[in-house]
Structure 1
Amino acid sequence: MYNLDNLGWKNDSRYNEDQVARVITVQKNSYRVSDGETEYHAHLSGKFLNEIVSSLDFPSVGDWVEVQKLPEEKKAVIKHVLPRKSQFVRQAAGNRTDAQVVAANIDTVFIVNSLNHDLNVRRIERYMLLTYESGATPFILLTKKDQVSEAEVQKAISSVSEVAIGVPILTISSVTGDGMEELLEQLQPGKTSALLGSSGVGKSTLINALFGEKIQETKDIREDDSKGRHTTTHREMFILPNGAMLIDTPGMREIQLWDGETGIETTFHDIEELEKECKFSDCQHHSEPGCRVQEAIANGDLSEERYNSYLKLQRELAYEKRKQNQKAKIEEKNKWKKISKSQKDFYKYKLR
């Protein structure tokens, strides 16, 4: 049995702890919350729904919420989301310009990639950018160590180290247990971590290994390209036997950026530092004399692929920002149209 403290709660006199719970499962519009002793199926109050301004306002797994409990029915009404200390945000899948909070109040994001054909350093860069932007600490987890040779492991570590500068990298096998002890040292009681990665990288298998029993369903991957099908279909927080909290998320092969000005500076701080050393402050990093970026590419200190990835992510962030600004303008215009119509209808009614 767990209490709020063991769910990661830090005493806060502003809130009545009897009305505080943590969101442990999000599945479409369905929520499950826990107060440390009892789990409740929860829904959003009408007042909450009326006050929502943005998709970021909806509860996410890991959120602390103010609730009205209905103990006899094991149900609860979510009235308010408490301020978040961190939030991992991506653009929602599809063509809509909406943000989606994947997980909230996380201390560490484990960016999970497998050591087989699916290893992708460009995807790792993208996850790192959003992790830094979230306020959490990134940690690279390379799985399926039992499926590759030691030489392949070292080659993968070398490749990932070039893009995950200063970020811890751990290689593990959920099958043999190799590296699992070191991983457990990173999963501390009262702390919340999240597993983020594509389908088929072994997140569900890892959770089963940490519990020592089958908690999550797993599926085989395709042998030709090492890609997997979605196994986890919703976001859920598990409390591990040692008291640490671990959030599992559905696989995300394409992760669209939402925000990332701070994250891109941290993820690509090596390139940002090179740009500061250029001879001219307005250097475009093409063929200008004294360009440190081109010099670093020429002498092998910076790969052209990494620099191109940096430029691509900058363009993508700028494009997304323009879309968000355009959407905000349209929403503001529609809001005033509704207000104007409401006022006209009101005066028409009064004049009758």
Structure 2
Amino acid sequence: MSSSSHLSLQQLGWRPFFQQQINLDEYDTCLFCRVVEQHRSKIVVESDQGQFDIRPSNNADPICVGDWLLINKTTKIIERSLERQSVFQRKSPGSKVDTQLIAANIDHLIIVSSLNQDFNLSRIERYIAVAKDAMVDPIVVLTKADLCENNEEVTNKIHQVQDLDAMMVTLAVNALAYSDLEQLTPYCKLGQTIAFVGSSGVGKSTIVNTLLQTESMKTGSIREDDDKGRHTTTHRALKSLPQGGLLMDTPGIRELQLTECETGVNETFSEIVALAKQCRFSDCSHQTEPGCAVQRSLANGELDPRRFNNFQKLIKEQAFNSATLAERKEKDRNFGKLINAVQNESRLRKKASNDIVVKFQIHF
């Protein structure tokens, strides 16, 4: 966002949900700021008074792009963050046991997948589960339509995605053609915030540049050996759209592990959940048990084996990651109690020692 012209709070996405969280004193002493950029050592915030940098303290609550913060007008120190209307998070990549925030207060999550070798229904389902868990409607955009050999290939893949959720908007576009991306206009209106997710190189930054009609994010060419782009976005940022809304681009997410996302997974695979309720046994694992409605549907060809296998994979993954995170939190709590106990014991010993010294001095 440009600091040369100030955006109104409405343009930044301010709405009654956030306004209702403010008390009278805060109206006088605080700026209402939205986090528009996040870097390693600082965040950039925007208010109706302009844009400036903030370096959060080490003990501050986790902050992500899209958050609303109350910042003291005089000291420019963060007073507090407001409750989020929606938040996207994932298990931190690698072996680290933690949750990583991705974006907050998003209205529409646009899932980008290319129509080349990157096209993967199971990956799309993963993103849909994250969107539904955050109570945000997903929109699937299939890129590189101009590189497909024929329209039949494009139509077939659109139908495959729509079969995942008949009510979900699915678009096929040439990311370089602004006329194609005008299909996204209804989701880019004043006060609305859209976010993009998808693997590296599928065209997210190209869509950003085309919608903004600028080279705001660098993009790389396609590697010929595997059809994957050289994605060069290095930080998350909100950008002001000509249509009045805000747009967020995120670095490529190659590893999106689910945590505490059971509701989103169940909603994404609602037909399997409905079938499971028809099984003879309430604890049916849907493998070899008699009277299993899921296995019967698989045998009849009514349920896609790929979809069922992905459902089981995502349910197990989110359950394992959630349990691991809960175990880590419990260990941290116990360790904190141990530290407090040691510190209290140390203070008591020091006090007892001081009391002995005082008594000794009085005696002599």
Question: TM-score higher than 0.5 here?
Answer: yes
CA contact (8 A) 1:90 1:100 kept: yes
Q: How does 1:68-87 map to 2 (within 5 A)?
A: 68-69=72-73, 76-87=76-87
CA separation in 1, counterparts of 2:223 and 2:40?
28
In structure 2, distance between residues paired with 1:59 and 1:331: 21
1:65 aligns with 2:31: no
Partner of 2:362: none
The structure with more radius of gyration: 2
Question: Which has the higher mean CA deviation after the structures are superposed, 185-194 or 75-84?
Answer: 75-84
Which residue pairs with 2:303 in the alignment? 302
Q: Show CA shifts across 1:153-195 (max 9, x none).
A: 1121122223344311111112233531211122221011100
- Give the secondary structure class of the aligned counterpart of 2:178: coil
Superposed CA RMSD in Å reads 1.8
Matched residue pairs, number?
A: 340
Match of 2:11 in 1: 6
Aligned ranges 1:139-288 → 2 under 5 Å = 139-148=139-148, 149-288=150-289
- What are the superposed Cα offsets for residues 191-235 of structure 1, whole Å, 9 maximum, x if unpaired? 111001111011111111112221110001212221223311111
AA paired with 1:305? R
1:116: Cα distance to partner?
1.1
2:187/2:194 contact within 8 Å kept:
no
Amino acid in structure 2 at the alignment position of 1:255: L
User: Could you say which residue in structure 1 is the equivalent of 2:357?
Assistant: none
SS in 2 for 1:255: coil
1:41-56 matched pairs, under 5 angstroms: 41-45=53-57, 49-50=58-59, 52=60
Question: How big is each residue's C-alpha offset from its partner over 1:57-106, in whole Å with a ceiling of 9 and x where there is no partner?
Answer: 31110000011246xxxx94323111001000101122111111100001
Structure 1 residue matching 2:340: 3-state secondary structure: helix
User: What residue in structure 2 maps to residue 347 of structure 1?
Assistant: 348
Provide the secondary structure at the position in 2 that maps to 1:40.
strand
The SS at the match of 1:7 is: coil
* Helix, strand or coil at the partner of 1:5: coil
Question: 1-side partners of 2:347 and 2:174: how far apart?
Answer: 67
Whether the 8 Å CA contact 2:235–2:250 is kept in 1: the answer is: yes
Query: What is the rounded CA distance, in whole Å, between the counterparts of 1:98 and 1:218 in structure 2?
Result: 30
Matched AA of 1:81:
S
Q: For the Cα contact (< 8 Å) 2:257–2:318, is it kept in 1? A: no
Pairwise CA distance, 1:258: 1.7
Give the drift of 1:140. Answer: 0.8
Q: Percent identity over the alignment? A: 37
Q: Does 1:326 align with 2:327?
A: yes
Whether contact under 8 Å (1:219, 1:229) holds in the other structure is yes
What amino acid sits opposite 1:107 in the alignment? Answer: D
Q: Is the CA contact (8 Å cut-off) linking 1:111 and 1:140 kept in structure 2? A: yes
**Unaligned 5+ residue runs, structure 1?**
none
Matched AA of 2:48: G
Opposite residue 60 of structure 1, the aligned amino acid is C
Q: 1:107 touches 1:191 (CA, 8 Å); kept in 2?
A: yes
Kept in 2: contact 1:125–1:164 (CA 8 A): no
1:19 to 31, 44, 51: 31
Moved segments of 4+, more than 6 Å:
none
What is the letter of the counterpart of residue 274 of structure 1? L
8 Å contact from structure 2 (residues 110, 139) kept in 1 = yes
Separation of aligned partners in 2, 1:42 and 1:201: 32
Preserved contact between residue 219 and residue 230 of structure 2 (Cα < 8 Å):
no
Counterpart contact for 1:26–1:235, Cα < 8 Å: yes
CA deviations on 1:268-307 (whole Å, 9 max, x unpaired) are: 1011111122344443323444432122222322111110
- Partner Cα distance (2:226, 2:204) in 1: 18
Residues 23, 63 of structure 1: 8 Å contact kept: yes
Equivalent residue number for residue 118 of structure 2: 118
Secondary structure of 1:113 counterpart? strand
What does residue 44 of structure 2 align with? 32
TM-score, normalised to structure 2, is 0.88
